[in-house]
Structures are given as structure tokens and as C-alpha cells.
Amino acid sequence: MPSAVDARNTEVSLPRPPRRIVSLVPSQTELLAHLGLDETVVGITRFCTRPVHWHDEKEIVGGTKDIDLDRVRALNPDLILANHEENTQADVQTLDTIAPVFVTQVKTVTEALGMVRTVGRLTDASNHTSTLAGKIISRFSALPDFSSIRAAYLIWRDPYMTVGGDTFIHDVMSWGGFENAFGDQSRYPEVSLGTLADADLDVVLCGSEPFPFHQDDKFTADLRKRLSNTPVEIVDGQPFSWYGPRLLDTPAYLKELRETLPLPHPA
């Protein structure tokens, strides 16, 4: 009988491996696809963009923070995958009355590997997740010892929002040798242009999601004007924030990114 303790310290026990899964977390939806559970997954959110073809094949049950609870109920799931940060507490509490809900909380690469292994245990796919976790560990361990550069990672504008030291993005930044200038703060603090200008930054990283900084130059124009001596770099948000199979590609992305960035000038 598959069982595991989730991020709420709640034991989730299933009478058998699940046959009807609803995933409310994009990273974990991609993980389920990687594990070959195509026929088992019946519902996903509109933000579950990988694999692409699942959007046409699976029931869309709303967004990560506005779940259509009636649609979930109609799917008659026997396991729901949720996340402490991406889904609301109110939705999770209602979902608990529908089916077993396994809630994850992932703040580091190490915790992501634990999540991968646990989902494998719950879905009777431990052989696949052990292989996946091993490959991820190997690739991160092979990263060079980067010189440290001081960075701010922006996830939003109007207002600008960055990442604190208790986030998954912060941990991925550290693997790439990026010293998070706001690592002493928590969650996703708002920052002003003045605060960024005074932070003694070597680079500003603007993620492609959740805010689409990459879609228009105007989204970074004021940053480039105010921080005229600091590189402002558009980066792919998925290697920094997706914690499923996308982690296989993250080390190579970090290495390539560091090779393209100029080293900071000595003080």
C-alpha cells in the first residue's frame, strides 16, 4: 500500500497505486509524464504546459490558484498532487474531501530530489525516479566551482519583485555561483529601482516566467536606464524554478549562462 508523509506532515495512504491522478503543479505534471503515466493522469491546470500535447488530451481544471473544484470532483481522482506555494490552502482543504491530496514544498534541489522519489513511490514508479534522481545529482555535482557574482533575480514588475533566501530559485542561483543580493529576506519581496541601484549588483536576472520579461524590450527599459553600468540579462525561468525533470537541463543552462556573463570588475 503506497504511503508518504507530505509537507503538511499528513500521512497520505493509498489502497493501491493511483489510476486517476489530478496534478495541480506544472513541475509535477511534467514529472508524471516523464514517468510514463500518460493514461493515469486525468486532470491538469492550464499552467501545466509540459508535455504540450496533454493540454488537448487532459481535463483542464483551472489555474494553480483558481482550481475548478467541481471539475476535479467530476474526474473522480484517487490522488491529487498539490503544492504548498502554488495552490491555495482553501482549495487544498476542499480537495481533501474529494480524494487523498499529497502536498509538496520544494525549496532546494535536494528537496526536489526527495519529491521526485516520493512521487515515484506513490505511483509505483520508483525504478524510474531512482534513475532520474541519480542523473540529476550527477549533473549538478559536475558543475564547476564558479566565481561568485552578486545578482538579483526578478520574477515580476510593477511592482518589481525578487526572490528571498527561502525559495527554490535562490538555491538554483547558488549552484550557478550567483550570490543572491536579497538572500537575507524571505519569500518574494518587492524592490524599487532605487533599491536595486543601491544593491551593488554585478547582474540583474529577469526570468521569463511568471512575468514575461522576454516578450518586450520595454519591460526592462527602465532597469537598463537606471542601472546603466549593470548588465540586465533575460533568462529562461524554467531551469531556475521547475523542480521536476527540467532539472536535468538546469546544470547545462547555468554553465552556459555563466560563460556568457562578463566577470565583475575588481573593486
Residue with cell 524554478: 241
Residue 24 included in any domain: yes
Q: Would you call the peptide bond into 159 cis, given omega within 30 degrees of 0 as the criterion?
A: yes
State how many domains the chain has.
2
Would you say 2 and 122 are in contact if contact means Cβ atoms under 8 Å apart?
yes
Residue 78 included in any domain: yes
Asked if residue 180 and residue 110 are part of one domain, the reply reads no
pLDDT of residue 214: 96
Asked if residue 90 and residue 31 are part of one domain, the reply reads yes
Asked if residue 155 and residue 133 are part of one domain, the reply reads no
Residue 144 included in any domain: no
Asked if residue 11 and residue 122 are part of one domain, the reply reads yes
Quote the percentage of the chain above a pLDDT of 90. Answer: 96
Q: Which residue, 111, 139, 167, sits at the end of a domain?
A: 139
Asked if residue 85 and residue 48 are part of one domain, the reply reads yes
pLDDT of residue 187: 94
Mean pLDDT of 34-60: 95
User: Which residue range(s) make up the domain with 117?
Assistant: 3-139
Q: Is the pLDDT of residue 73 over 70?
A: yes
Q: Which residue, 91, 115, 139, sits at the end of a domain?
A: 139
Asked if residue 168 and residue 111 are part of one domain, the reply reads no
From CA 151, how far away is CA 232, in angstroms rounded? 10
CATH of the domain at 168: 3.40.50.1980
pLDDT of residue 266: 53
From CA 29, how far away is CA 51, in angstroms rounded? 8
Q: Which residue, 76, 111, 139, sits at the end of a domain?
A: 139
Model confidence pLDDT, tens digit, residues 202-232: 999 999 999 999 999 999 999 999 999 999 9
Q: State the DSSP string of 16-69.
A: SS-SSEEE--HHHHHHHHHTT-TTTEEEE-TT--SSTTHHHHSEE-B-SSSB-H
For residue 169, the 8-state DSSP code is: H
Asked if residue 163 and residue 71 are part of one domain, the reply reads no
Residue 265 included in any domain: no
Q: Is the pLDDT of residue 265 over 60?
A: no
Model confidence pLDDT, tens digit, residues 121-172: 999 999 999 999 999 999 999 999 999 999 999 999 999 999 999 999 999 9
Q: Is the pLDDT of residue 183 over 80?
A: yes
Nearest alpha carbon to residue 201 among 175, 239, 174, 232: 232
Asked if residue 161 and residue 57 are part of one domain, the reply reads no
Asked if residue 156 and residue 132 are part of one domain, the reply reads no
56 or 21, higher pLDDT: 21
- The mean of the pLDDT values for the chain is 95
- Please list, in sequence order, all residues whose beta carbon lies within 8 angstroms of the beta carbon of residue 70, skipping any fewer than 6 positions away: none
pLDDT of residue 72: 98
Asked if residue 169 and residue 125 are part of one domain, the reply reads no
Q: Is the pLDDT of residue 267 over 80?
A: no
